[in-house]
Structure formats: structure tokens, C-alpha cells
A = this chain, B = another copy of it.
């Protein structure tokens, strides 16, 4: 039911995902009449009817609801019910385009967290020169102690290892400079903790522009900084593409060039498309939960579902749980 564009787009995204992933079954959780009417718009919906099920939810959490009110509220919202499916083992993952704060607190309440994790973090893939990196946290935690940044490093590293199969992923810590003396107290303390952790392949501080330079697989930062950096990048990308559009429309010559450049620009868009990287992983829950961008279209929602499928298939949540449990045991015996 969530997202700026409502269930119609989410349903369309679910159908794209079903078409692309033959092993996938989907439970649509929300207002049954809305979901049925959204399905009725799609000629192909009948083809996937056997892999698609509607679970009615009498209410939905507002996009602007406060997390605290969500916890006190009734448990009959689509978000509650969807997360409950994961908690009860009836679904392998939950994907939502709804209220991020609500998803976070309900996820903690209904799924719980692995040992040694204080708070979940949101992570997403960012395109880089040759591939991608994962950045976390992206807004779940606006104030982070050094210990939490270490936990982000552990979770991000485990995710890249488990889901992408990268051995000893390179972990960088976002800072305002690469020299030891740079940064605030939390970041400098976190650097010491991360560097001391033998489970991690720490490569040191990274500055903002190095995010895109394939230096790290995991970029760790607090949620305030990560959120601002990600949104600033989105804003700049939009500014550039609007400037290019204006430029290509301003004369006959420009329009001709634009026509000729179309196939090239289409490929660039495909490479850089934020939609392609849609789907923020809520790391640190005992279950797979993916947050789709509020403004994502059907294609974006399909990517978020694909991400959820991928994490579930690789057993990320279980792997993270095992990893953290082993770590806590080691720490308890003094070998951390």
C-alpha cells in the first residue's frame, strides 16, 4: 500500500518480478479491493494468478506516521501483516515502499535482531566506475556511536560476502579527509574499532568522491551523513539530466544531435539508473526486509523484489545471525 504512487505501481512491479523470476511467489498484502482493481488493469495478471495471492489488511500506515505511534497502533496494517508473514516463516522476505521509520521499528518488534546488533541499518548499492559498492547507514540512525559504526561494518561486510560472494570485502569509513587526524570523535574511535577487528578487511578512511572509485565494497557512515550524501547525489544526477534535456531541445541542431545520441544516452541511463539500484536492505533484522524508494515506478519495485529474492536465496538474514552469534561467543571468551 505504500509509496508515493500507491498500490497500482507496486502491483505492476510485482507482475514484472513474477515474469522475470519463475521461482518467485508473491503475497500482495493490503486493501483487497484496491489490489484486485490494480490487478484487473493487467492483461497478464491471470497468467500469474497461481503464483500470486492477496492477503487482506484492513488498514495501512500513513507515510508520515510517527514510528512511536506505529508501535502503539493497531496490528492490522498491511505493514504489520506483511512482516508477520516473515516472522511466521510464511514468507521469505518483505518488500515495502511505505514509511521507512515504521518499517524499521515494526521490523525490530516483529522480527527481532541478531545478537550484538544495537540497531538495524539501511544499505543500498551505489554505482561506481567499474561496478558497485554498498553504503550504510542511509538514514535509519541519525546519531551513531563508534560501536554502531563497527556494527554497520560487520553487517555490510557479511552481506557482500554472503550475497555477492566477495571474499573479505573491502570496508572503508566515510570521513572528511584520509589522514588519521581528520574527522570527529565518533569516526576516529570507529576507525580504531574497525581496524582492530580481524573479521574485517578495513582499508581506512574514504572521502565522498572516493565512494565512486571502486576502492571499497562497503562504505560505512552514520545515517545522517549517508542520507544526505545519497540524496545529494540523486539531486545532482537529476539536475544534470534536466540540463542535458534543456540543451538538447534548444535548437534544430541540438535536436538532431539528441536524436542521434538517443541510443547512447539510453545505455548510459541504464548503467547509471538509480532504479536499477532500487531496494534498500534493512540489515540487522532476523528476516529479509527491503525498502523500495517511495518514488520508485513499477520497474523500480521489480528490482526491489529481485533484491529481496536474492538476499533470501543466499540466506543473508540467517547468515548474519550465525555470524553475529559466533562473534559474540568469541568475544565472550576473549578472542574477538
Residues of B within 8 A of A139 (CB): 176
- Copies of this chain per assembly: 2
Stretch from A150-158, A218-226, A321-329 forming part of the interface with B:
A218-226
- Of B129, B236, B267, which is within 8 A of A247 by CB? B267
Known interface pairs A243-B268, A268-B243. Does A236 touch B257 (Cβ–Cβ under 8 Å)? no
Known interface pairs A208-B231, A247-B268. Does A224 touch B260 (Cβ–Cβ under 8 Å)? no
Instruction: Give the secondary structure class of A's interface.
Output: helix
Residues of B within 8 A of A207 (CB): 227-228, 231
Determine how close the nearest CB of chain B comes to the CB of A279; give it in whole angstroms. Answer: 18
Instruction: Kindly state the separation between the CA atoms of A91 and B223 in the bound complex, as whole angstroms.
Output: 44
Cβ–Cβ contact B237 & A208, under 8 A: no
Residues of B within 8 A of A256 (CB): 260
Cβ–Cβ contact B235 & A211, under 8 A: yes
- A277 contacts B by Cβ under 8 Å: no
Instruction: Kindly state the separation between the CA atoms of A240 and B142 in the bound complex, as whole angstroms.
Output: 29
- A185 contacts B by Cβ under 8 Å: yes
Interface residues as binary, A292-323 with B (CB distance below 8 Å gives 1, 0 otherwise): 00000000000000000000000000000000
Determine how close the nearest CB of chain B comes to the CB of A83; give it in whole angstroms. Answer: 22
Instruction: Kindly state the separation between the CA atoms of A211 and B127 in the bound complex, as whole angstroms.
Output: 21
Instruction: Kindly state the separation between the CA atoms of A256 and B267 in the bound complex, as whole angstroms.
Output: 17
> Which residues of chain A from 250 to 269 have any CB-CB distance to chain B below 8 Å in the complex?
254, 256-257, 260-261, 264, 267-268
